[in-house]
Chains A and B, each alone.
Chain A
């Protein structure tokens, strides 16, 4: 009897082990099946994301879900979809850039986005990531990474201790007329341009360019940056958010005339971190030591639109009152802590070219004016003491007695024309099933 009981016990243990193994094998089989279906779902997410990217052509600074959206706290939100077999997928698409998802170096002039897709089936997750590359077919909006005054560039007199210093090339089809102590890296002019006039102790080595700057500069009517034009910016913009932005003092926003006025040492911060914002103004005045801030980490495009009767080429009419279309920050400051490409100012200008853009320098306020200014039908007057980093295209540039100007490589990222970028799959890799950094949906894919 004892032998029988012992034998039974041993056999029961064996049976339990076999049963347990078969259950485990069954679970593994089920997991394997779900894993394969999750993988197919993840691939579905990649396909949907790429299709939407190429069909909806979101602005380069935007993420993509079911539409173009801004990053939230620096990360792109996810879109979740379902399949008919119970599997789901969730993807994120990063803004376009030149460093995405690893892989080989991008081709010259290309941009990339990173798509990360997670497929889920019965709690089993598979995560894959692709880099999609797109060739930028347009051309840089700024043909010169420096200053272009199409019809001429004037500068006053610097001093031995405080010369006017432009550490970038200057281009013009007109007259270069510099006073004393004006030091410029290079003057680029077509052969038809008049001889450079330099005062004492001034320098601007001349280089001849093949074609006129007027022919190289994109007409203001044709400006199309990331699908945004003067006309589209008049109706599709972030103007309505202005009352909600942080401000101090006397800030007056008039939506009906699209007029923004900062007065009496007031301040206003446009946009918010991680976002790309577009504004369309008829008038932007920054007066009496006021300060217009650009939110850290944001990209802001300011369109100063065409005034009624002063810009006949602007059709349909912008809706701006006559004699507006002005930007005057002569006694104020526009502060952008980012690169020049993060603050893009476009000024339609007047047909007669008499529109004047003043960018001043708050004495003692410090900081540089990091921006691009595209105003081929306006006169640009940087104030004395101003330090500007970026690029300028203006009808004419009139420099006072103290300007420091430096080029900024980021300005070449501003592309015009050529149509939207089409993205194709370049790099593929499978990731861990969960991001290794909870706040970074692209992590865990090394």
Chain B
């Protein structure tokens, strides 16, 4: 018996399966693209935050040594995502300089109400992303110079810490910390 028509082409069931696979695939691909897009966006934000942090650090470091100080102690925070979380009330007011790495060592904040600058927060960023910058200056004691008995009481040089926070994302991120030292260029020999 002769076949009346060819069996080439799609059966309805085949078409449905293909559409289903394509739909699932497209959804997965869309998810991948979305993940990539948000990852790139987050990376851009982090990079911008890094630049903002470095700029802020360099601005502080470029001040005259005596001007590198806060004008007031920042208020401590209980929010561990807030850089002020590491502020210790004192007296004297202090900062947990190695708090970002889980440490508990504090150093007194350098406060000068006349020439000091505000700890912050200072806004950074643009319409797409941004956050806040916090600045801290503490007195570091150097046991190589002041000895074990002289530390931590001696003020050898200043530690500058800059923390950069990002605008709230889907998951909160800890601040990015930058840190360096600045020493008195006029420091003379140890008596």
Contacts of B145 in A (CB 8 A): 51-52, 55-56
With contacts A33-B47, A40-B54 taken as known, whether A47 is within 8 angstroms of B29 at the C-beta atoms is no
- The reply to whether A15 and B180 contact each other, CB–CB distance below 8 Å, is no
- The reply to whether B61 and A52 contact each other, CB–CB distance below 8 Å, is no
- The reply to whether B179 and A33 contact each other, CB–CB distance below 8 Å, is no
- The reply to whether A40 and B178 contact each other, CB–CB distance below 8 Å, is yes
With contacts A11-B29, A19-B32 taken as known, whether A36 is within 8 angstroms of B179 at the C-beta atoms is no
- The reply to whether B39 and A26 contact each other, CB–CB distance below 8 Å, is yes
CB of B8 closer than 8 Å to a CB of A:
no
Contacts of A23 in B (CB 8 A): 39
- The reply to whether B180 and A41 contact each other, CB–CB distance below 8 Å, is yes
Closest 9 CB pairs of A and B: A84-B98, A51-B183, A29-B43, A66-B144, A22-B36, A85-B177, A84-B97, A33-B50, A44-B181
Total A-B pairs, Cβ < 8 A: 149
How many Å from the CB of A443 to the closest CB on chain B? 25
Digitize A23-36: 1 where CB-to-B-CB distance is under 8 Å, 0 elsewhere.
10110111011001
With contacts A32-B47, A84-B99 taken as known, whether A8 is within 8 angstroms of B180 at the C-beta atoms is no
Contacts of A28 in B (CB 8 A): 43
A14 to B28 CA separation, bound complex (whole angstroms): 13
Residues in A73-122 with C-beta less than 8 Å from chain B = 83-87
- The reply to whether B14 and A15 contact each other, CB–CB distance below 8 Å, is no
Contacts of B50 in A (CB 8 A): 29, 32-33, 36
Cβ-defined partner of A55 (8 Å) among B46, B97, B187: B187
Cβ-defined partner of B100 (8 Å) among A43, A54, A56, A85: A85
Counting chain A CB atoms within 10 Å of each CB, the highest count among B46, B103, B189 belongs to B189
With contacts A15-B29, A55-B187 taken as known, whether A85 is within 8 angstroms of B21 at the C-beta atoms is no
Contacts of B47 in A (CB 8 A): 29, 32-33
How many Å from the CB of A123 to the closest CB on chain B? 16
How many Å from the CB of B37 to the closest CB on chain A? 8
A174 to B179 CA separation, bound complex (whole angstroms): 65
A23 to B103 CA separation, bound complex (whole angstroms): 31
Cβ-defined partner of A36 (8 Å) among B53, B161, B185: B53
With contacts A33-B176, A48-B181 taken as known, whether A67 is within 8 angstroms of B46 at the C-beta atoms is no
CB of A1 closer than 8 Å to a CB of B:
yes
A290 to B63 CA separation, bound complex (whole angstroms): 62
Contacts of B98 in A (CB 8 A): 84
| B41, closest chain A residue (CB) | A22
19 contacts across the A-B interface (CB closer than 8 A): A1-B18, A11-B26, A15-B29, A18-B33, A19-B32, A22-B39, A22-B40, A29-B50, A30-B46, A32-B47, A32-B50, A36-B51, A43-B181, A44-B179, A55-B187, A66-B144, A83-B179, A86-B101, A424-B185
